[in-house]
Amino acid sequence: MSWLLTEDHLADLARGAAVLGTGGGGDPYVGRLLVRAAIREHGPVTVLDPSEVDDDSLVIPTAQMGAPTVVFEKIPAGTEAVTALRALEARLGRRAAATMPIECGGINSMIPLVVGARTGLPVVDADGMGRAFPELHMETFGVYGVPGSPMAIAGERGETTVIDTGTDNRRMEWLARGVTIRLGGVAHIAEYAMSGSEVKRTAIPRTLTLAHTVGKAIREARSNHEDPIAHLGSVLGDTLYGHMRVLFRGKISDVERRTEAGFARGRAGAVSFDGGHKLEVLFQNENLVALVDDEVRCVVPDLVCVLDSERAEPITTETLRYGQRVTVIGISTPDLMRTPEALATFGPAAFGLPYEFRPVEEINA
């Protein structure tokens, strides 16, 4: 069922999207400000359940692309993603009936809402990662046969670039990353244009609603003086992301982070409060794996989320700092993200990690 997204939803939505963003997908505060400005100017946004999208209608996902470390310092005007959408429409010779997120995240759940507010287009309640991933070919859209090309990239000065690599989504990512680096490390994009029936077949459904649910659960638990992380676990039980596990509680002891090749890459270490255990999280924009005492406890595509221990506020990879007291949780992903073809595209080996994928609920049975 479609629903109207207003300013009142934004705080919960941004917080929840940042949890699902697993450390990436952009800063929720920036994302929230962008949507708020757009809604105040243009009114609320219609969020469309994927089941309601006409099979033949054209859906064009929109997003921001770039290293979170740069995104954090380079606030967009809010019009860039609309420019990208229009450039792709011009290339296709057809107008979009709706836009959609490509991933969950503090910014990338929000950019399509900014586009929706500014253009009047509805936003489909679904996305192509079911979390955040660092690269554009890591989309369930592509895993299940929708080409990312042609894609449009818009820069802050209104420049547009349209890339067409046919069915080669990795090559598209490679060229788009080069353009984004030249644009200063952040750009806005429109890609994976698809039909309504392709949305139904390839997208992870209802992740905007899920993000709102997650953010709201954390807020309500805080108000009720409950443990927000425990409450989050019980709320997730009723969703496609049914298993949550607490992997570690402790204090961040060291962070290595470098912005290279257009990504924020690095690792964070933590020690348990009793000093007896250690955690290591590796990331490329997003958290990829959590190792506790050198044992894998959760690995991509399952979600590794670093939350502050007291308020369960998600901590993105670019804001990890020495001394933060954190609870690290693992969350299971929907079946569509765990098939052999999905794992070939965004499983551990796709990131060069020497681990087999095992579901978080099995590792932590």
Q: Which is nearer to a copy of itself, 91 or 251 (CB)?
A: 91
Q: How far apart are CA 64 and CA 47, in angstroms?
A: 19
Closest among 28, 40, 168, 2 to 111, alpha carbons compared: 28
Q: Which is nearer to a copy of itself, 127 or 135 (CB)?
A: 135
Do residues 262 and 181 lie in contact, with contact meaning Cβ atoms separated by under 8 Å? yes
Query: Which of 314, 303, 306 lies closest to 270 in space, CA to CA?
Result: 306
Instruction: Report d(CA 168, CA 173) in Å as an integer.
Output: 9
Q: What is the DSSP letter of 7?
A: G
Q: Select the residue interacting with a copy of itself from 22, 62, 160, 209 (CB under 8 A).
A: 160
Judging by beta carbons within 10 Å of its beta carbon (0-12, 13-18, 19+), is residue 251 exposed, middle or buried?
Answer: middle
Beta-carbon contacts of residue 301 (< 8 Å; ≥ 6 apart): 130, 131, 133, 333, 337, 338, 342, 343, 346, 347, 357
Q: Which of 49, 168, 220, 313 binds a copy of itself (CB under 8 A)?
A: 168
Q: What is the dihedral of CA 191, 196, 199, 202, to 10 degrees?
A: -110
| Shortest CB 150 distance to a copy of itself, Å | 8
The count of chain residues that interact with a copy of itself, using the rule CB under 8 A, is 23
Count of positions (residues) in the chain:
365
Binding mask 88-127 for a copy of itself (x = CB under 8 A): ---x------------------------------------
Which x/- pattern, by CB under 8 A, does the window 140-159 give for a copy of itself?
A: ---------------x-xxx
Which residue from 33, 92, 162, 349 is in contact with a copy of itself, where contact means CB under 8 A?
Answer: 162
Closest by CA to 198, choosing from 54, 337, 314, is: 54
What minimum distance in Å lies between the beta carbon of 116 and a copy of itself? 25
Radius of gyration of the chain, Cα coordinates, nearest whole angstrom: 19
Q: How far is the CB of 163 from a copy of itself (least distance, A)?
A: 5
* Residue 165 within binding range of a copy of itself, rule CB under 8 A: yes
Cα(255)–Cα(322) distance, integer angstroms = 7
Closer residue to a copy of itself in complex, CB, 36/177: 177
Q: Do strands 98-100 and 58-66 pair parallel, antiparallel, or not at all (unpaired)?
A: parallel
74 binds a copy of itself (CB under 8 A): no
Using CB under 8 A, pick the residue from 110, 111, 115, 175 that binds a copy of itself.
Answer: 175
Neighbours of 8 (CB within 10 A): 10
Asked if 161 interacts with a copy of itself (CB under 8 A), we say: yes
Q: Write the interaction track for a copy of itself spanning residues 33-72; mark x where CB under 8 A is met and - where it is not.
A: ----------------------------------------
Cα separation, 75 vs 306, in Å, equals 24
Query: In this chain, which stretch among 72-80, 163-171, 240-248, 315-323 interacts with a copy of itself, using CB under 8 A?
Result: 163-171
Q: Which is nearer to a copy of itself, 64 or 140 (CB)?
A: 64
179 vs 353, which CB is nearer to a copy of itself?
A: 179
Asked if 183 interacts with a copy of itself (CB under 8 A), we say: yes
Min separation Cβ 82 and a copy of itself, Å: 15
169 binds a copy of itself (CB under 8 A): no
Is 178 near a copy of itself (CB under 8 A)? yes
Residue 182 touches a copy of itself, criterion: CB under 8 A: yes
Secondary structure element (H or E) that encloses residue 194, with its range: strand 194-195
Q: Which residues bind a copy of itself (CB under 8 A)?
A: 87, 91, 155, 157-166, 168, 171, 174-175, 177-179, 181-183
